[in-house]
Amino acid sequence: MLARGWELVKKARWGCAYMRAPEGFSRPIVVESLIPTKDEILRLANDLHTRDVQWQGIVGEWPAFYIRSYEVEQYRVDPFTDKKSPLPPINGCPFHSG
């Protein structure tokens, strides 16, 4: 929005901001933006996955990134015996597929 002439009035929590439109805008304000389709995003992710590369950049007008998921094994280590015991998979953890 700043690149389009909008002025930052106040930055709020959680990534929200109050903006002032440039001169000449009338209500309602319609902001056009390039939004990639689901198929475009899946095609990009599949290409990056096939080439086994991580990526960060811009898609349409939006920041985007791709990080390949990895299988990670976690262990609990007894501090007295150094014996390892596997931890059960954690549902929802991005590093687990269990």
* SS3 sequence of 15-51: HCEEEECCCCCCCCCCCCCCCCCHHHHHHHHHHHHHH
Q: What is the pLDDT of residue 68?
A: 77
Tally of structural domains, the chain: 2
Q: What is the pLDDT of residue 96?
A: 42
Q: Give the distance, in angstroms, between the CA of residue 76 and the centroid of all CA atoms in the same chain.
A: 30
| CA angle 20–35–24, rounded 5-degree value | 25
User: Is residue 45 located within the same domain as residue 69?
Assistant: yes
> Tokens 């901001």 belong to which residue?
17
User: Is residue 74 located within the same domain as residue 51?
Assistant: yes
User: Is residue 45 located within the same domain as residue 27?
Assistant: no
Q: What is the pLDDT of residue 98?
A: 40
User: Is residue 44 located within the same domain as residue 17?
Assistant: no
User: Is residue 52 located within the same domain as residue 94?
Assistant: yes
Give the residue numbers spanning the domain of 7: 1-32
Residues of the chain with pLDDT under 70: 70-72, 89-98
Burial 33-61 (b: 16+ CB within 10 A, else e): eeeeeeeeeeebeeebeeeeeeeeeebee
Q: What is the pLDDT of residue 97?
A: 42
> Tokens 């439109």 belong to which residue?
21
Q: What is the pLDDT of residue 47?
A: 92
